[in-house]
Structure 1
Amino acid sequence: MADEKDTVHYTGSEGGWGSLRGITETALRERPSPGALNTLRRQNKVKGFMCVSCAWTKPAEPHAFEFCENGAKATLWELTSRRATPDFFANHTLAELKGWTDHQLEQTGRLTHPMRYDRPSDKYVPCTWDEAFAAIGSELKAIDPSTSVFYASGRASLETSYLYALFARLYGHNNLPDSSNMCHETTSVALKGSIGSPVGTSVLADFHLCDAIFFFGQNPGTNSPRLLHPLQEAVQRGCKIVTFNPVREKGLETFKNPQSPVEMLTPKSTQISTLYLQVKTGGDIAAITGMIKHVLAREEALWARDKRHVLDVDFIEQHTTGFDELKAKVDATSWAEIERESGLARADIEAAADIYCDADRAIAMYGMGLTQHVGGARNIKALVNLWLLRGNIGRDGTGVSPVRGHSNVQGQRTVGISEKPELVPLDKLAEQFGFEPPRDEGMNTVKACERILTGEVKAFIGLGGNFVRAIPERDKMEAAWTRLRLTVQIATKLNRSHLINGEVAYLLPCLGRSEEDMQVSGRQAVTMEDSLSCIHGSIGRNTPASKQLLSEVAIVAGMARATLPENPKVKWEEWTADYSKIRSLIAETYPEQFHDFNDRVFTPGGFYRGNSARERVWKTKSGKAQFTVPTALNSMGVGEAEGRYRLMTMRSNDQFNTTIYGYSDRLRGIEGTRDVLLMNPEDIKAAGLRAGQVVGLASDAEDGEDRQVGGLTVTPFLLPRGCLGAYYPEMNPLMPLWYHDEESHTPAAKSVPVRIVS
């Protein structure tokens, strides 16, 4: 691999003055309202405001400033002084706005009034809330409910999410895809099959007890920077951190704590990773198989010499099934295969395995670098195999811990936003609300897109998010979108999805989480669930961006009242007036997890809703934790071919999902542009290219479709040979809709087969 000096890179640490600079630049761009500083002071604290950025947990004893660079950017973005008023829309057609960048659209500011799309003028025009609700209700009543899709972004509260799912089922469908379908649905499927729980098993206290933490395909420096605080504390007490990632991310290399005067005023910083291995994208199964192979070898050697075990043999015997089959497969796998598929040397994999063996308690953390592959579920099952070998699930200081993105994406699934009826207590809902819920499986994101393409879907309601921009096959999808009868978007700011409309379209502006939500009973609190299954309350106190804004709860209730027949057990107005009544409904539907919900809303550190696998109760088909046999050593959906590269789509340091705050990817040394193609210098030379050359990428998915993205500047970057990096969502047109995880249908955005074209 080339030296770092031959590539673009960032010489500083994550955090430090660089983070403060990033926050300052966002503040200057957004010119936030006067309450912004007080909001940041209250952010992620008890009876404060819960960040709308990542889903990392909120500690019971917070730091003085319990926010990170990206969390601060998200808050300042929401509290911008800019406004997208009816006058703005009167001055711009949607055809014109389609030529604007994502960043430019966001910079128009907060939406202020409900708007209706007027097709003859190609403009949004203002309407009243009553007019919008009545029209939406009329359109929904005119179609078969099964032809509608109710999508949810991962930011909506538990209260809103519960009502939204109830609205869908009362209306007559389970078509409830959410952003989890595009990121961690693979986790839900793979962990459920392996250990019986669809979410991670660690809690925050485990990070104070573990001896080692292993990262796979996750970048906390950009995606969840507050996680760096417990990582730094773990390192300082002697915990070892091992990272497997194709990209050398600064947040997993060195960290300078912005809240430490010593670190801010001196060269001092903390080295995070003890060992950092740049596995090829799609090669994690091979790397994990190599670790398992070495663990088994150490077990045999130690038993032969000292009659002691490396494996937790009692745990394996009592709590698992499938070990012998896994062992036979690993024994039959050669190191040559492992090295070829992982792109790593045997000695490096064995060094990582030694750290694992020497750690009494270990935590595995991962992100979309594992989930977004055709073999994403196989990636996670391989990781579970490794963790089961030493009983590292269901003990304090251990666990498998996926790091979620959206602030409440995990919680939405918990309270019923799911296309899978078997995951929802439908009989209980039937009893509570006096109706017969639909029992057919609904559409996930991929199925919804497929049926929009065929014309089977007639209506789409988006509860937040930027769906059209986030999905694969974007060019085809945008063309198909205009054939929908009804599109409704609930949002705080303008994005590209709002410019691609059906025949009838409404843009409905909602309160942000940081803003005061006053209803009949007074100021309302909302709740969300973090990555570690803890529930937190949040109260907004800022003056709303417009007097015309409604809360998400009020908007969902308004659409539901206009659509559904009267039902004495369904009390939309009462629930809107007092959100505690919605929490009482959640507690009634899910008593084991949400008992005494209203009394526990502001529990310091959140209240833990429980996890069966953490208690070593395995809700799997066998009743035990399941070892699985890998069927391949890589998670690619296509094989190797001459001239074919593996493209990873990536997020910048100035971005959260599809939201682009600016053009500074400071932690990778890239400034002022997103039109780059990151490439190993040796690959650049071998391909006959040069740094700075402008090229394009073409899909190499072997389906005959022409998918291309052009205008990318070749940029030398420290990546494994054969791997490319470029930004999401700009690269989404290269992803076929069918190119997704085999089990969960999560789009395989981390290993897209492409060719370089001139």
Structure 2
Amino acid sequence: MSEPKVVAYTDPAGGWGSARSLAEILVREHIPLSGAAMMMKQNKPDGFMCVSCAWAKPAQPRPFEYCENGAKATVWEQTAKRVTPDFFAKHSVTELLAWPDYDLEEKGRLTHPMRYDAPTDHYVPVAWEDALAEIGRELKALEPKSAVFYTSGRASLETSYMYALFARLYGHNNLPDSSNMCHEPTSIGLLESIGVPVGTTVLDDFEDSDLIMFFGQNVGSNSPRMLHPLQKARKRDVPIITFNPLRERGLERFTNPQSPTEMLTGRSTEISTQYHQVKAGGDLAAITGICKTLIAADREAVREGRPRLLDIDFIAEHTHGFDAFVAFCDGQDWATIEARSSLRREALEATAEVYGRSSNVIAIYGMGLTQHRTGVENVQMLVNLLLLRGNIGKPGAGICPVRGHSNVQGQRTVGITEKPELAPLDKLAAQYGFEPPREKGLNTVEACEGIISGDVKAFVALGGNFVRAVPDTTRMEDAWRRLRLSVQISTKLNRSHLVHGAISYILPCLGRIEIDEQESGPQAVSMEDSTSAFHGSRGVATRVSEHVRSEPWIVANLAKATLPPNPKVDWDGWVADYAKVRDAIEETYPDTFKDFNPRLFEPGGVHKPLAARDRVWKTASGRATFVAPDGLDEDTDMRHHCRDVLDLITLRSNDQFNTTIYGYDDRFRGVSGTRMVLFMNENDMARLDLKDGEEVGLVTNVPDEFAREIRGLTIVKYDIPEGNCGGYYPELNVLIPLWHYAKRAKTPAAKAIPVRILSKAKLAMAA
């Protein structure tokens, strides 16, 4: 951390800023030459899949098929720095708890299995066989439903399949994952509306689209490789219309770092042709306004004998619920739409005008839609907009939810789900000779509730930094220490290792980038990207330590230590040859994984079949369904009318991925040397008598018995809608009540948290 500075950044996304940032982290992690060579294999058919985001991999990759954030993720994992037993001998857990997140991970890769020793308050080295034996004994002593098996989106398809099978053989469906925290509304909303729980677009659709729309997704920081197809689209004069509270640089201008001409001349491409700064919680109203305009314009076209704006033939043949949806839109008045969205009617009509003359439209969205009380309805409203003009199930069109971690979508495909109806339980029963549990398991929020209540006794984490990722951080950390058992399968140290249970283990694993040598030779793994394409991945780097083990090895040996022998589950054979795991996956999911092993390394990936792409609708009605929401309020549980209450949006910086902090610079927003900032509109600052650079605190403005507060934030004047403010995740998770989540999906509603600002005077009075 350096001296905090806030200086406006005027350059485009990409360009020399991206190149300098990458060079800096290569030097900092002591791998300037080997790291640069390694990245030439990143996202290539004969190399490894990026350990960062899940954006699609092209069949014909560029020479440098990685973005700034993907490169940072590679360098961060393959750092030359090591966290050995000597490190833990020097630092107690109590001391490490005071370290920032960045400092913990920046120390390097974990090298040995470690066990928490309460008398000394240190982690101490432990033999693998002893660690596995004790974990197995503890799990066997528990009621299975009191244990939670969590997974981040990092684990491969092979590991995820084994982990899900382990959980069900053990006796529960408690398989929460990172999807619960971001795109669960997608899984529910799309399944109900179009019969598939994932997006319908593929990478080639960007070549055929004549309009691209963005809702609540920051491409420049969260999926920068998408900027390449966006730039190509703009060079074809394809309009891009953006709805997002903050003006994000990646959605404004982009200089391609792989173009010598652009780098030398400083030339950039304008990305968004319309940019609408909808306020947090205003997307439902904004999309309703666009739909309302289209419906009215279509009626006028009929009256005047002009071609219709709505694809009435598609609607008649393929959809259900159209009349009720039209009635809903007709019933919404413009004054309410403008108030809820903070956008003028003219702006929404301008969007509708472009949409109405476009034939092939892609709608892209992120957590700006999903992390609200109406997250499911928000997703379905965007589907409604596409259905009005038949923009699902044809080339160049479709819905495109942008997933986060690299295999977060794929792990769901192979059984990581708390919902028994989504897993092929009958098939698993026949394949492995057991009766799978049929009771619904715990999702992320329910797992947190169980930890707080004491009903959850054990937590096994396959990757991730759970205690930092979830809401209500203070309450969760207090409750976490009452767990009987906590196990973390990890590559790097993070806070979830330090907020431990009575018995706590750190099990260090290989990273995806490392060569995974098993009995049959070097192994390959696989994952699924955001466009539902499966890709193979081969490690290229030397393992960090002889004491680390692969994720499949760890899962298999935990299962062997916990479960009675099952002759139909060849854990040892699977570890010896991961191709046998893929054969088992194909047996469980024959339609999805047909010829899985032979096709593993097809350029561009192997797309799984999705009925909605062929306009086959596996919904309750057998048709694509228009779903009208109950109203235009996205976060009714947080409705407030106080002049000094703002809606807080949690954000990522340019220098992080999920809970991993690569540094203290948010280049695009002009912040360096700190993450403790609060972005505010200057009119709100004037109204509340606050100044740029002033240090303040925040307290959540909700009527329950828990005090949620954070201090030490510096106000930064920023272009953000009035009534909104923004700050960084995960630091501000402490302010999110656990009960504030998307209806039905239970995804934490992190994009609309009512807060009061504690000025210096108020802080002094409180003291």
TM-score by length of 2: 0.97
Give 5+ residue unaligned stretches, structure 1: 1-6
Deviates most, 627-636 or 161-170: 627-636
Contact 2:26 2:32 in 1 (8 A): no
The one-letter code matched in structure 2 to 1:640 is H
CA drift of 1:193 comes to 1.1
2:580 aligned partner: 581
1:566 aligned partner: 565
Separation in structure 2 between the aligned mates of residue 446 and residue 372 of structure 1, nearest angstrom = 13
1:123-522 aligned within 5 A: 123-522=122-521
Separation in structure 2 between the aligned mates of residue 279 and residue 664 of structure 1, nearest angstrom = 26
Deviates most, 396-405 or 622-631: 622-631
1:715-754 aligned within 5 A: 715-754=716-755
Q: Aligned with 1:725: secondary structure?
A: strand
CA drift of 1:343 comes to 0.2
The one-letter code matched in structure 1 to 2:370 is T
The one-letter code matched in structure 2 to 1:602 is F
Per-residue Cα deviation, 1:490-540 (whole angstroms, up to 9, x for no partner): 000000000011111110000011000000000000000000000000000
The one-letter code matched in structure 1 to 2:251 is L
CA drift of 1:703 comes to 2.1
Separation in structure 1 between the aligned mates of residue 295 and residue 96 of structure 2, nearest angstrom = 59
Q: Aligned with 1:536: secondary structure?
A: strand
Contact 1:257 1:264 in 2 (8 A): yes
Separation in structure 2 between the aligned mates of residue 28 and residue 673 of structure 1, nearest angstrom = 21
CA drift of 1:635 comes to 1.0
The one-letter code matched in structure 2 to 1:597 is F
Per-residue Cα deviation, 1:568-620 (whole angstroms, up to 9, x for no partner): 10111000000000000000000001011000100100000021111111111
Contact 1:35 1:542 in 2 (8 A): no
1:687 aligned partner: 688
1:56 aligned partner: 55
Separation in structure 1 between the aligned mates of residue 32 and residue 120 of structure 2, nearest angstrom = 33
Separation in structure 2 between the aligned mates of residue 397 and residue 560 of structure 1, nearest angstrom = 45
1:37 aligned partner: 36
Separation in structure 2 between the aligned mates of residue 711 and residue 597 of structure 1, nearest angstrom = 52
Contact 1:8 1:716 in 2 (8 A): no
The one-letter code matched in structure 1 to 2:191 is K
1:4 aligned partner: none
Contact 1:216 1:369 in 2 (8 A): yes
Q: Aligned with 1:593: secondary structure?
A: coil
Per-residue Cα deviation, 1:718-754 (whole angstroms, up to 9, x for no partner): 0000000000000001001000000100000111111
Q: Aligned with 2:649: secondary structure?
A: strand
The one-letter code matched in structure 2 to 1:118 is D
Per-residue Cα deviation, 1:176-207 (whole angstroms, up to 9, x for no partner): 00000000111101111111110000011110
2:708 aligned partner: 707
Per-residue Cα deviation, 1:194-253 (whole angstroms, up to 9, x for no partner): 111100000111100000000000001000000000000011112110000001000000
Contact 2:148 2:459 in 1 (8 A): yes
The one-letter code matched in structure 1 to 2:641 is A
CA drift of 1:308 comes to 2.0
Contact 1:474 1:732 in 2 (8 A): yes
Asked if 1:647 corresponds to 2:648, the answer is yes
Q: Aligned with 2:698: secondary structure?
A: strand
Per-residue Cα deviation, 1:616-653 (whole angstroms, up to 9, x for no partner): 11111111111111212131132132122110000000
Deviates most, 20-29 or 486-495: 20-29
CA drift of 1:422 comes to 0.2
1:104 aligned partner: 103
2:675 aligned partner: 674
Separation in structure 2 between the aligned mates of residue 754 and residue 198 of structure 1, nearest angstrom = 33
Separation in structure 2 between the aligned mates of residue 216 and residue 601 of structure 1, nearest angstrom = 33
Q: Aligned with 1:54: secondary structure?
A: coil
1:3 aligned partner: none
Separation in structure 2 between the aligned mates of residue 308 and residue 189 of structure 1, nearest angstrom = 35
- Go from structure 1 to structure 2 and tell me whether the alpha carbon gap of 1:632 and 1:703 turns closer, same or farther (over 3 Å shift): farther
Per-residue Cα deviation, 1:267-297 (whole angstroms, up to 9, x for no partner): 3110000000000000001100110011112
Counting matched residue pairs gives 752
2:764 aligned partner: none
Contact 1:89 1:123 in 2 (8 A): yes
Q: Aligned with 1:329: secondary structure?
A: helix
CA drift of 1:33 comes to 7.7
CA drift of 1:42 comes to 0.6
The one-letter code matched in structure 2 to 1:436 is E
Contact 1:192 1:198 in 2 (8 A): yes
Q: Aligned with 2:25: secondary structure?
A: helix
Q: Aligned with 1:279: secondary structure?
A: coil
Q: Aligned with 2:149: secondary structure?
A: strand
Contact 2:450 2:456 in 1 (8 A): yes
CA drift of 1:34 comes to 5.4
TM-score by length of 1: 0.98
The one-letter code matched in structure 2 to 1:675 is M
CA drift of 1:701 comes to 2.1
1:28 aligned partner: 27
1:638 aligned partner: 638
Contact 2:533 2:605 in 1 (8 A): yes
2:556 aligned partner: 557
Give 5+ residue unaligned stretches, structure 2: 1-5, 760-767
Q: Aligned with 1:337: secondary structure?
A: helix
Separation in structure 2 between the aligned mates of residue 27 and residue 619 of structure 1, nearest angstrom = 48
Q: Percentage identity across aligned positions?
A: 59
Q: Aligned with 2:592: secondary structure?
A: helix
Separation in structure 1 between the aligned mates of residue 259 and residue 412 of structure 2, nearest angstrom = 37
The one-letter code matched in structure 2 to 1:649 is T
The one-letter code matched in structure 2 to 1:479 is D
Contact 2:638 2:753 in 1 (8 A): no
CA drift of 1:8 comes to 5.7
Contact 1:8 1:715 in 2 (8 A): no
Separation in structure 2 between the aligned mates of residue 121 and residue 464 of structure 1, nearest angstrom = 26
Q: Aligned with 2:214: secondary structure?
A: strand
Separation in structure 1 between the aligned mates of residue 429 and residue 176 of structure 2, nearest angstrom = 21
Per-residue Cα deviation, 1:526-556 (whole angstroms, up to 9, x for no partner): 0000000000000002111111110000000
RMSD, aligned CA: 0.9
Contact 2:26 2:35 in 1 (8 A): no
CA drift of 1:125 comes to 0.3
The one-letter code matched in structure 2 to 1:152 is T
The one-letter code matched in structure 1 to 2:156 is S
The one-letter code matched in structure 1 to 2:56 is T
The one-letter code matched in structure 2 to 1:352 is T
The one-letter code matched in structure 1 to 2:598 is D
